[in-house]
Structures are given as structure tokens and as C-alpha cells.
């Protein structure tokens, strides 16, 4: 299924998530929720894109399809994308990969993130990680007075393709890392980066300066927020708040939370460069992704000026930009 939330600022862009769900309604709600977040992500980042999301729903308890079965599923999804005539552009997401996008591209041209040699921008994960690192540095500057991560104790919860690369970037900057993942096979990364390895639940409430949630969403809720010891939170996971009121709880505790759709926009920013008439350029992409630091600063400045939470400030900026785009088309 595909959810198109908005095309006010441009075609809706959002990855194709292959995941297990209890039923079709649950999958549909996930697609709708994620498509809305993509609209806000692109709008706050100032991109000429709207928000959409693709979901390939797998039955609960089933393993992802492989071989010819996987190919058939991907081509099925590609037909759905193509029916929308370019109002939705797909990309890789949780459960899908660059080779999957190659398969989808056999049926529709409305696919992004293909290999660089095919004119695409490749795997978006390193760019998402780079953007989150930029957001963490802004958060550190606001809370601790310096953007440096050297000596900062940072917990990265979820060290897959994005979280793992983020951990590497932070280690290069001199951070002391606490790493966690439900997949114990990723423990080797902790050894390589001289990091502490623990369970995800323990990492969430560890005695750290910064918490970086980089797995699935909903991890910040009424139960966990009172237990947090980090003073700043910025991560790659989508929809980190169990509900929007959690943003108020974080503010009440004096914890600076960088809205997820602001911090994790690096992959989308990179794809936006791919879509430009000049064609994809790695150096241009890096400059644009690093500029997420400026976007984070704008959001936090607006929150401070209006006496609101960072989430409220980011939502206001996004709503205003989408409304302006809608007004311009009337």
C-alpha cells in the first residue's frame, strides 16, 4: 500500500517499508502516520517535496520473502507506485534495500536511491547518520555550551545501517559510547569502537549526556521519560514519541529533544539532490546534509522565542510552509 499525505510542495517522497503487522489496518495506520511525518520532514528541511510512504505488510510471525517470492512482491508494489503517476516517489526503508529498489525500477521510474552508477544516490543510511550527528552537535552546544562530542557519553540504541554509522561518526569525534541492539550479532561494533555494550532497555536509561534512539519508534513514553538521565535526545528513529504530549514531559524534565523528523532528514535531503536538474553530486549532498545543523538551530530558536517545545516549533514551521505552498497554487 501507498499513503500520500501531501503534494503541496512537490511529489510525495517516502521509503518502502517491508514489515510484519498484526493486520492490514495496523499496516495502513503505520503508512498514514509515516507519510505525515515525511511531509513535515521535507517541509522543515525546506525541500520541494511532499510526504508519502510505502508499506509491504507481512503477516505477523512470518519471515521476509526471499528469491522469486520477494521479487514478485516488489514488482507488485512497483505496479502500485506506477499507478500514481509520479505523485509518489519511493525509496528504501526498514526491510528493503538498494537491490530491492533496482527490482522496483524494472516496473516504474518513480523510484529513488538507486546505485550511483545508475544516476541515483545509493544507500541513504550514511547520509541519515551524518544528519543526526549534526543534530547531536547542535544539541550539545545548546545544553553543554560546545558542539564537540569529545568526551561526551552518548547512548546509541539500535546500531543497524544508520545507528552503526552514527556510532562510527561519534567515535571519530571522541565520544564515549554505549551501544545497544536487539540483534546481539552487532555486538562486534562495540568491540571495534571500544564502546560499552548493553541491552536496549538499559541503554535508554543509562547515565549518559545524549541519547540517540535509532531503532523503531514509540520508545519515549510516559513510563520511560521519568527514568531518563540523558540531558539531550537526538536520533534517527521515526516517531520516537509514543504521543505528542511526551514532548511536554521532556521539556518539564529539562531534557532537550530534537524532533526526529528534523534530525533524521539526511536521507531525504540526499535524495532531493538526486532529483535536482543538475544531477546528483556527492559534495553538494554533503553540504546540504550538514546544513541540518542550521535547520535544528532554527527550530530550537523558534521554540525558545515562542516559549514552546521543539516539537511544537517544528510542527508550526512545517504547517506554515505547507500552507504557503497550498496558497500559492490557488
Q: For 238-262, what is the mean pLDDT?
A: 95
Name which residue leads in pLDDT, 116 or 53.
53
| DSSP assignment letter at 13 | E
d(CA 307, CA 37): 23
Instruction: Work out the pLDDT band at 189, boundaries 50, 70, 90.
Output: very high
Domains 2-33+51-112 and 125-264+297-315 agree in fold: yes
Instruction: Work out the pLDDT band at 227, boundaries 50, 70, 90.
Output: very high
Instruction: List the domain boundaries for the chain.
Output: 2-33+51-112, 125-264+297-315
Residue 161 scores a pLDDT above 80: yes
Residue 249 scores a pLDDT above 80: yes
Q: State how far the alpha carbon of 109 is from the alpha carbons of 48, 83, 178, 327, in Å.
A: 19, 11, 41, 30
In the chain, the percentage of residues whose pLDDT exceeds 70 is 100
Is there a contact between 3 and 79 (Cβ–Cβ < 8 Å)?
no
d(CA 228, CA 17): 30
Chain centroid, CA 59 distance in Å: 24
Is there a contact between 265 and 44 (Cβ–Cβ < 8 Å)?
yes
- The pLDDT, as a whole number, for residue 77 is 98
Q: For 156-171, what is the mean pLDDT?
A: 97
Instruction: Work out the pLDDT band at 185, boundaries 50, 70, 90.
Output: very high
Residue 167 scores a pLDDT above 80: yes
Instruction: Work out the pLDDT band at 86, boundaries 50, 70, 90.
Output: very high
Instruction: Work out the pLDDT band at 94, boundaries 50, 70, 90.
Output: confident
The per-residue pLDDT for range 281-304, each reduced to its tens digit, is: 999 999 999 999 999 999 999 999
* Residues in contact with 325: Cβ distance below 8 Å, sequence separation at least 6, in sequence order: 8, 9
d(CA 44, CA 38): 10
Q: State how far the alpha carbon of 137 is from the alpha carbons of 134, 206, 267, in Å.
A: 5, 20, 18
- The pLDDT, as a whole number, for residue 64 is 95
d(CA 313, CA 297): 11
C-alpha closest to that of 78 among 35, 114, 99, 108: 108
* CA dihedral angle for residue 33, residue 39, residue 71, residue 24, rounded to 10 degrees: 20
- The CATH homologous superfamily for domain 125-264+297-315 is NAD(P)-binding Rossmann-like Domain (3.40.50.720)
| Secondary structure of residue 144 in the 3-state scheme | helix
The per-residue pLDDT for range 28-69, each reduced to its tens digit, is: 999 998 999 899 999 999 999 999 999 999 998 899 999 999
- The pLDDT, as a whole number, for residue 15 is 93
A 10 A CB-CB count for 147 gives 15
Residues marked as catalytic: 53
- The pLDDT, as a whole number, for residue 61 is 87
Least confident among 17-21, 198-202, 278-282: 278-282
Q: State how far the alpha carbon of 187 is from the alpha carbons of 3, 34, 160, 178, in Å.
A: 36, 29, 11, 11
Least confident among 3-7, 93-97, 141-145, 203-207: 93-97
Is there a contact between 186 and 180 (Cβ–Cβ < 8 Å)?
no
- The pLDDT, as a whole number, for residue 117 is 77
Residue 256 scores a pLDDT above 80: yes
Give the sign of the dihedral formed by CA 65, CA 69, CA 70, CA 75. Answer: negative
2-33+51-112 fold: Rossmann fold (3.40.50)
Instruction: Work out the pLDDT band at 238, boundaries 50, 70, 90.
Output: confident
Chain centroid, CA 113 distance in Å: 15
Partnered with residue 54 across adjacent β-strands are 2, 16
Amino acid at each position: 500500500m501507498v499513503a500520500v499525505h501531501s503534494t503541496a510542495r512537490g511529489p510525495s517522497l517516502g521509503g518502502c517499508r517491508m514489515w510484519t503487522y498484526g493486520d492490514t489496518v495496523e499496516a495502513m495506520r503505520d503508512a498514514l502516520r509515516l507519510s505525515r511525518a515525511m511531509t513535515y520532514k521535507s517541509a522543515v528541511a525546506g525541500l520541494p517535496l511532499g510526504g508519502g510512504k510505502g508499506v509491504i505488510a507481512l503477516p505477523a510471525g512470518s519471515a521476509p520473502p526471499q528469491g522469486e517470492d520477494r521479487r514478485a512482491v516488489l514488482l507488485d508494489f512497483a505496479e502500485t507506485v506506477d499507478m500514481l503517476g509520479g505523485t509518489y516517489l519511493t525509496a528504501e526503508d526498514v526491510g528493503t534495500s538498494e537491490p530491492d529498489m533496482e527490482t522496483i525500477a524494472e516496473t516504474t521510474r518513480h523510484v529513488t536511491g538507486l546505485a550511483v552508477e545508475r544516476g541515483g544516490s545509493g544507500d541513504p543510511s550514511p547520509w541519515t547518520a551524518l544528519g543526526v550527528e549534526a543534530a547531536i552537535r547542535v544539541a550539545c552546544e545548546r545544553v553543554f555550551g560546545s558542539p564537540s562530542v569529545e568526551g561526551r557519553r552518548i547512548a546509541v540504541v539500535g546500531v543497524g545501517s544508520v545507528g552503526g554509522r552514527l556510532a562510527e561518526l561519534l567515535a571519530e569525534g571522541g565520544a564515549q559510547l554505549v551501544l545497544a541492539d536487539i540483534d546481539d550479532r552487532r555486538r562486534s561494533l562495540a568491540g571495534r569502537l571500544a564502546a560499552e555494550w548493553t541491552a536496549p532497555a538499559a541503554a535508554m536509561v543509562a547515565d549518559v549526556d545524549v541519547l540517540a534512539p535509532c531503532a523503531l519508534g514509540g520508545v519515549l513514553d510516559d513510563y520511560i521519560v521519568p527514568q531518563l538521565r540523558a540531558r539531550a535526545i537526538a536520533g534517527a528513529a521515526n516517531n520516537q514519541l509514543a504521543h505528542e504530549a511526551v514532548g511536554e514531559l521532556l521539556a518539564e524534565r529539562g531534557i532537550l529533544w530534537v524532533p526526529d523528523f528534523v534530525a533524521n532528514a539526511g536521507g531525504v535531503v540526499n535524495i532531493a539532490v538526486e532529483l535536482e536538474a543538475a544531477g546528483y553530486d556527492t559534495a553538494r549532498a554533503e553540504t546540504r546534509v550538514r546544513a541540518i545543523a542550521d535547520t535544528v538551530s532554527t527550530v530550537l530558536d523558534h521554540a525558545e522565542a515562542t516559549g514552546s517545545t521543539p516539537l511544537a516549533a517544528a510542527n508550526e514551521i512545517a504547517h506554515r510552509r505547507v500552507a504557503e505552498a497550498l496558497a500559492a497554487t490557488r
